Structure 1
């Protein structure tokens, strides 16, 4: 009884605290559906790492995590649904400990009612998304009004959930277990509903909402059918009963009506009837097609129950919203993990979302169950989205805030919560200011617009500095609460640190429409369009031809952008200066604006490589961008060069076949040095970074050397065409590394400008390495990641030396070390297989520089035997790597039993072959000699099928020789000498 009184007093206090002025509350109306488009990826926004999780007054619910989609099973054949194991009922509660209610939020200072004219201006801004007509006084008013909305939401959510989770002052068991045949349930945003049940991991299991006068419930599994029966998860029945009673009667302490009239869509009426009977109420089914927009029979029902088999109609979301607005009780029960488009529409109408494909199929136990020890206070703390936001808003109002954000970053957590919810809206193509709901978010975004012109301390606000605590938090919130798919925003007058200089705001933008053709390199991805968004200036985009794909636009492209809380830069740049992806549609003007500026990118999917997207753009600017995927005029080259030198825009970008470079203008200038930007782009980036890699990999965008073309014809290999297309666009970002100094991946990024050199060669190699580079004899460490990619790095260094005479990283190939392993193994006196095994264990467990020398020795042998050259040259040596990688792809994509012999695999019945055997058969074909002695000398075991296949070619067995180069002179191939090691082991000459 005492606990019940405590919760009642808490509810009363919260209601009193929320009685301040402000807009009428619409927070439980669901958002209208927008264009369906994937939400931004993990790097598009989200909680910054390293946040302290101590959050007054109550902990925040951890983010709900959808399972990774890793090769999901086909939808047409879902796995059998195994009922969750019976849950043993918890022991009777003999004297439950008192439940500690969440501490009440201290009410903010009284709101001073602003003049009517300010309210009118705010009301207009809430519709237009334009804060330019608001004055300085509106900043405080907006925060006060936002705080009042948050209080009202909290004062509804917390008491409502409190009453459902308890009965007669005692906690009800929340123990519940789903099977993997279920799906997660989350809220569209923190004001659209209540997170009713979340698994121990935070994965959402059920949610409730009040939309207008209607109430709604969603479960991620068909729990209603379990409760209608008597065998599955029966410990959940008391809690489910109170939730259903709240749904129908509005108060879990009331009794259900004697008769409940219900209708169903895509769900078993027998289950509903059986449940109501079990709960002591008679169920009266009203036969009605709830998906028919013209039906009127819905008015006769009290309860509407939808399932996954509901007919998927165009207006289903709006139809369900109509039912809720009329005060109906609506339920959705997910049948399994299988996708239900109609179920998503029903959930959207309720202000909720279902997880992505394949639901909870791969979810672990902690994401499928609630432990029996979960208390009401625990779940209230998880569900309370507003408590911490209310406190953070109070801190935003405090001009003399005294806080150390390095010691306690918790006030930034609710900032990120709103930031993530804005990101989700953008991902669906929804403009916040075109929604009838989410007034809380609108007011916070408008406040951020008003505060942004006051930000003048980027680089001067260390998180631990208490004197600038208010500046820090306000900048963090202003940076985070941004809407990009509107026409107006504000800017910070002094620029944005190393992301964008203040001078960028004065760059002129196009007043007329420009037609831009964007050639698509792959099915999906992101690509620069050669235009920039200038801070605060509206860009308008029209789609002339989408080429059948899905398109979006965004400013900036990077996976790492720093963290004001932990990167040691004293808040050196905006919290996340790149925009979210904003989906764009045909037959309309798509508006875009960013406070921060940045290069504009097309985000695309469902396209074919080689297709052309046609855009029409107005309000954008030209900057230092080079696009060598098409012809550039001299005027365009000169303009781009001048833009780089002017230092007025923050970024410089480059497009090549197979790669794009995005780097800050300052980093670009640091590597350009005294040369002309055009020369840097053409002769450094393109020629010595991308081209060298593509030559070594035999990609078709690079013209074949005459010797390569001739050999392809001789071997009847198909060496050009789509089969040898570069495998996609490799992006490089010169700004901030995601790991270390340079970090691999796509994009690869680093704290440096882009220039030909080991670091960027290495990173590009990671993403283009082929199986013939990856050599791992059985039982050895082998040449694996960080070794195989550097074969391509050394190839680039060798080609650069041949082109320019610049000798770098010649020490990364250790020919002497390779020879020493052979020499030392022979010195043991072993012969035959014993000798081969001795070399294998020495070399392939030894240094990587020695392992990689093998590929280049084979290249030198190609120049000797195939080309008839006395000494190798860089270009001729690389011809071997070109042929090798082409052969690798041909075996993968062109191989048949009938043509196997032309790849040296005549004895094979499939193209399944080990990497080192593939290297042997291809090398023999390319060099024109049977290379078996060399592979034995390199310690590589060969399969009998590969030996017999090459023997069938009737090639001469090559005698053993070794091309000796001095240590450190791996690029200076003309300085070496051939050693005859067929019958002896001469001393290494260097």
Structure 2
């Protein structure tokens, strides 16, 4: 066996020589042309008959899309969109799998044609498609008799349609969806509907039918999911659109207009497109092309890239399969070119056209489910330094990974070294859970079309499925921290893995038992060496991945990670959100006990994991989402606390009174950023962003409101407009004023402290969860909601009743002073508690000193509002 044939079978590019690159491109070009001719020829055979065909068709929204899984077919598998809607959504597709043929529609068109009930103009085209399915030529004559079997579909409909063609249909009594059946050989045609039962072996069974030369039809009759139908379609190289199908689609997504011509339909089916020309461009050392104004040549490269993502995502083998030669040729060519790439240093859309296009293609044509690949010896730009290629790997080890929630992604504390294979086996996991392995959890890597091609176009890998009790081998040319991609798990559980070939790097894990001093020291040393591109951290409710670019200034990793990211950023958020990973203070425990509230345990677990990436922002400077990313290192500071607040803020902090009034997004989450600034000052004496919380402005609103001489509801309404329609900095002060009131009325403190002020937020958010998850219908007054039949309550009412319970005073005068529109039902509920009514008061703090609580003083605003004392 020659070296190219050997590499095509094994997926190992190491035996290849640089001179083989042109041979691989030439073979791939000839194959792509062959596939294009074959694909468009088959579709043209159906569309271009001797008659004029009406191509219009309307599936209506009670349908689903049908599309090829692989938009770039291989030598032995031909999958093409047969009918695309006016907005290019898949309505029907056809395929050739070895000697068999398949046809699928996203609506039950076979039934319409059999009964002549709908879309009768489509009958001639459907007849030609059916003839091609049975004979391989739409112009051929159908056999006089067609034997068929069905599963999840009505046999009488199939027989009736065959009769419309003038032929005789013979039903074979056979359960063709039963993997143990042997009667399928008697049928020429196998018809599946959306009602077919799912079975782990169904895809392989239908694949066997196609390999044996059978004709297979699938008809989807509604917009809902069909697990069995999806399995049938996979065998045909197709996929069903996700739930809820076309239910919300517009007319252009489910229909073909009468203006469509056969030539246009054939052109739409061409999935090869400009690939042959692009392959010729890759072979041209002297290529000149202006990629700064025209990116068209990268489109076919992207299609192959997306197909390979599908192979990895499904766990399908590219190498070792006879149906994937085009992909294998291109992946091996990418391997051969990769060692020539040097990111940055002149690699640019305005530099050498050949070098740019080759780097783009090599970066794109990656396949991770194998044991060998190549790397650029000069590193992977600012994603991974060249030094990472020399990091030692561990021969074999078993590790336990904490799983925070039912589905998500989590770092495992080991890395893939560029070009070195990693073998992973799941030893223990939650029953019914599923897992995949990938490198990095990032949203963006920038773009090669920026001025400098600074890193691989997509350095993070796709997720490769893992199977319980079975080893999976994974390799990446770019390296990166390894993450589990999981679903169906139990929050708080663990997964035990056996890993071969993984490497240690700077990873700090606080998600389970606290890391030992030795583990922290080992991770700190790796961070200071800077021989790997990334540092990662895990906490209860949060994870981060940070580039070494933003870690270069860290001289004390322990202080940065333990004291800063965990001790300030996450701890302050978790205290304010009342999560159970933070211990109850004595005051909180006493208050919870007195109220009969359950304030610890699994009910108050951090509800999800917020991921941060310090490298490149998807938008702006810091960008919200999960992961949230930015052009900055992770650390205590307003920005990251603000982003963490976005994904952890609870509804009790979200006030929306309409007409642009309230504390909504970009205000409610900032209450948690305020908590961090207070905590940072209390713990480390860091006094930052003290002017963002404007107690002075809030007091001025009170003064202006009282000066109107209004009273009752008119006074409250004026304050609602004045205050809740104004600056967010004053709204953040409002939340702190409630916390100060807690320290005064509940605890009897002359001045609040940071710790006691945050106890109010801790209790408030615990109460929010208790109302949502532990509603006590027999005793609604436990949460201050005695007049409510259930836990359906507005946010402002919830804030009022919970705050009254927590502070131990009826806060009606306080809430009216701040303009909140509290309902009569909420007022009456609190009145039933017979709490003393709190007098109006305000804790004044000088401008810019909102973190320095000891500098403030209480002001009585029950009557006339005096001048601000600072």
TM-score under structure 1 length normalisation: 0.85
- Indicate whether 1:908 and 2:792 are aligned: no
How far 1:569 sits from its partner (Å)? 4.5
- Indicate whether 1:561 and 2:561 are aligned: no
Unaligned runs of at least 5 residues, structure 1 = 1-116
How far 1:945 sits from its partner (Å)? 2.1
Question: Could you tell me which residue of structure 2 aligns to residue 861 of structure 1?
Answer: 741
* 1:906-945 alignment runs, 5 A limit: 906-945=786-825
How far 1:481 sits from its partner (Å)? 0.8
- Indicate whether 1:376 and 2:259 are aligned: no
Pair 1:236–1:910, CA change in 2 (3 A):
same
User: Which whole-Å deviations, capped at 9, do the CAs of 1:875-926 have from their partners, x for residues lacking one?
Assistant: 1211111111111111222222322222222222222222122212222222
Q: Which among 270, 290, 308 is matched to residue 422 of structure 1?
A: 308
SS of the residue corresponding to residue 304 of structure 1 reads strand
Q: 2:343 touches 2:381 (CA, 8 Å); kept in 1?
A: no
How far 1:293 sits from its partner (Å)? 5.7
Question: Could you tell me which residue of structure 2 aligns to residue 480 of structure 1?
Answer: 364
- Indicate whether 1:633 and 2:516 are aligned: yes
User: Which whole-Å deviations, capped at 9, do the CAs of 1:762-787 have from their partners, x for residues lacking one?
Assistant: 00000111122112335452110000
- Indicate whether 1:770 and 2:656 are aligned: no
Pair 1:950–1:488, CA change in 2 (3 A):
same
Q: In structure 2, what is the Cα distance between the partners aligned to 1:809 and 1:294?
A: 70
Pair 1:710–1:669, CA change in 2 (3 A):
farther
How far 1:323 sits from its partner (Å)? 3.3
Pair 1:342–1:921, CA change in 2 (3 A):
closer
User: Which whole-Å deviations, capped at 9, do the CAs of 1:48-101 have from their partners, x for residues lacking one?
Assistant: xxxxxxxxxxxxxxxxxxxxxxxxxxxxxxxxxxxxxxxxxxxxxxxxxxxxxx
Moved over 6 A (4+): none
Q: In structure 2, what is the Cα distance between the partners aligned to 1:685 and 1:314?
A: 45
User: Which whole-Å deviations, capped at 9, do the CAs of 1:777-803 have from their partners, x for residues lacking one?
Assistant: 354521100001111111110111112
Q: Which among 123, 146, 158 is matched to residue 237 of structure 1?
A: 123
- Indicate whether 1:186 and 2:101 are aligned: no
How far 1:577 sits from its partner (Å)? 0.5
Question: Could you tell me which residue of structure 2 aligns to residue 48 of structure 1?
Answer: none
* 1:560-579 alignment runs, 5 A limit: 560-565=444-449, 568-579=450-461
Question: Could you tell me which residue of structure 2 aligns to residue 624 of structure 1?
Answer: 506
* 1:484-523 alignment runs, 5 A limit: 484-511=368-395, 513-523=396-406
Q: Which among 111, 121, 145 is matched to residue 27 of structure 2?
A: 145
Question: Could you tell me which residue of structure 1 aligns to residue 58 of structure 2?
Answer: 177
How far 1:298 sits from its partner (Å)? 4.3
Q: 1:460 touches 1:572 (CA, 8 Å); kept in 2?
A: no
SS of the residue corresponding to residue 434 of structure 1 reads coil
The more displaced of 805-814 and 253-262 is 253-262
Q: 1:487 touches 1:593 (CA, 8 Å); kept in 2?
A: yes
Question: Could you tell me which residue of structure 2 aligns to residue 662 of structure 1?
Answer: 545
Question: Could you tell me which residue of structure 2 aligns to residue 217 of structure 1?
Answer: 103
Question: Could you tell me which residue of structure 2 aligns to residue 159 of structure 1?
Answer: 41
How far 1:849 sits from its partner (Å)? 0.9
SS of the residue corresponding to residue 810 of structure 1 reads coil
Q: Over the residues paired in the alignment, what is the CA RMSD in angstroms?
A: 1.8
- Indicate whether 1:253 and 2:139 are aligned: yes
Q: In structure 2, what is the Cα distance between the partners aligned to 1:897 and 1:622?
A: 52
SS of the residue corresponding to residue 552 of structure 2 reads helix
Q: In structure 1, what is the Cα distance between the partners aligned to 2:96 and 2:418?
A: 40
Q: 1:175 touches 1:236 (CA, 8 Å); kept in 2?
A: yes
Q: Which among 858, 861, 869 is matched to residue 981 of structure 1?
A: 861
For this pair of structures, how many residues does the alignment match?
Answer: 863
* 1:450-469 alignment runs, 5 A limit: 450-463=336-349, 465=350, 467-469=351-353
Question: Could you tell me which residue of structure 2 aligns to residue 45 of structure 1?
Answer: none
Pair 1:877–1:601, CA change in 2 (3 A):
same
Q: 2:642 touches 2:673 (CA, 8 Å); kept in 1?
A: yes
Question: Could you tell me which residue of structure 1 aligns to residue 230 of structure 2?
Answer: 344
SS of the residue corresponding to residue 4 of structure 2 reads helix
Q: In structure 1, what is the Cα distance between the partners aligned to 2:376 and 2:863?
A: 76
Question: Could you tell me which residue of structure 2 aligns to residue 689 of structure 1?
Answer: 569
How far 1:700 sits from its partner (Å)? 0.7
Q: In structure 1, what is the Cα distance between the partners aligned to 2:199 and 2:830?
A: 63
SS of the residue corresponding to residue 720 of structure 1 reads coil
Q: In structure 1, what is the Cα distance between the partners aligned to 2:584 and 2:494?
A: 26
User: Which whole-Å deviations, capped at 9, do the CAs of 1:699-738 have from their partners, x for residues lacking one?
Assistant: 1110122111111112221111111111111111111111
How far 1:272 sits from its partner (Å)? 2.5
- Indicate whether 1:700 and 2:580 are aligned: yes
SS of the residue corresponding to residue 686 of structure 1 reads helix
Unaligned runs of at least 5 residues, structure 2 = none
Pair 1:299–1:867, CA change in 2 (3 A):
closer
- Indicate whether 1:652 and 2:535 are aligned: yes
Q: In structure 1, what is the Cα distance between the partners aligned to 2:755 and 2:152?
A: 68
Q: 2:550 touches 2:615 (CA, 8 Å); kept in 1?
A: yes
Pair 1:795–1:196, CA change in 2 (3 A):
same
The more displaced of 171-180 and 146-155 is 171-180
Q: In structure 1, what is the Cα distance between the partners aligned to 2:129 and 2:616?
A: 49
Q: 2:86 touches 2:256 (CA, 8 Å); kept in 1?
A: yes
Q: In structure 2, what is the Cα distance between the partners aligned to 1:176 and 1:721?
A: 58
Question: Could you tell me which residue of structure 1 aligns to residue 210 of structure 2?
Answer: 324
Q: In structure 2, what is the Cα distance between the partners aligned to 1:909 and 1:299?
A: 64
User: Which whole-Å deviations, capped at 9, do the CAs of 1:91-135 have from their partners, x for residues lacking one?
Assistant: xxxxxxxxxxxxxxxxxxxxxxxxxx7xx2111111110011011
Q: 2:343 touches 2:456 (CA, 8 Å); kept in 1?
A: no
Q: Which has the higher contact order (CA 8 A, sep 6+)?
A: 1
Q: 1:897 touches 1:908 (CA, 8 Å); kept in 2?
A: no
The more displaced of 291-300 and 471-480 is 291-300
Q: 2:342 touches 2:381 (CA, 8 Å); kept in 1?
A: no
Q: In structure 1, what is the Cα distance between the partners aligned to 2:810 and 2:201?
A: 70
SS of the residue corresponding to residue 498 of structure 2 reads strand
The more displaced of 207-216 and 352-361 is 352-361
Q: In structure 1, what is the Cα distance between the partners aligned to 2:789 and 2:508?
A: 48
Question: Could you tell me which residue of structure 2 aligns to residue 28 of structure 1?
Answer: none
Q: In structure 1, what is the Cα distance between the partners aligned to 2:707 and 2:159?
A: 88
* 1:283-322 alignment runs, 5 A limit: 283-291=169-177, 297-310=183-196, 312=198, 315-322=201-208
Pair 1:127–1:956, CA change in 2 (3 A):
same
SS of the residue corresponding to residue 410 of structure 1 reads coil
The more displaced of 260-269 and 534-543 is 260-269
Pair 1:322–1:727, CA change in 2 (3 A):
closer
Q: In structure 2, what is the Cα distance between the partners aligned to 1:795 and 1:920?
A: 20
Q: In structure 2, what is the Cα distance between the partners aligned to 1:851 and 1:642?
A: 44
Q: 2:273 touches 2:300 (CA, 8 Å); kept in 1?
A: no
Q: Which among 582, 585, 589 is matched to residue 464 of structure 2?
A: 582
Q: In structure 1, what is the Cα distance between the partners aligned to 2:21 and 2:82?
A: 34
Q: In structure 1, what is the Cα distance between the partners aligned to 2:238 and 2:683?
A: 60
Q: Which among 756, 780, 792 is matched to residue 636 of structure 2?
A: 756
Q: In structure 1, what is the Cα distance between the partners aligned to 2:184 and 2:858?
A: 91
Q: 2:661 touches 2:721 (CA, 8 Å); kept in 1?
A: no
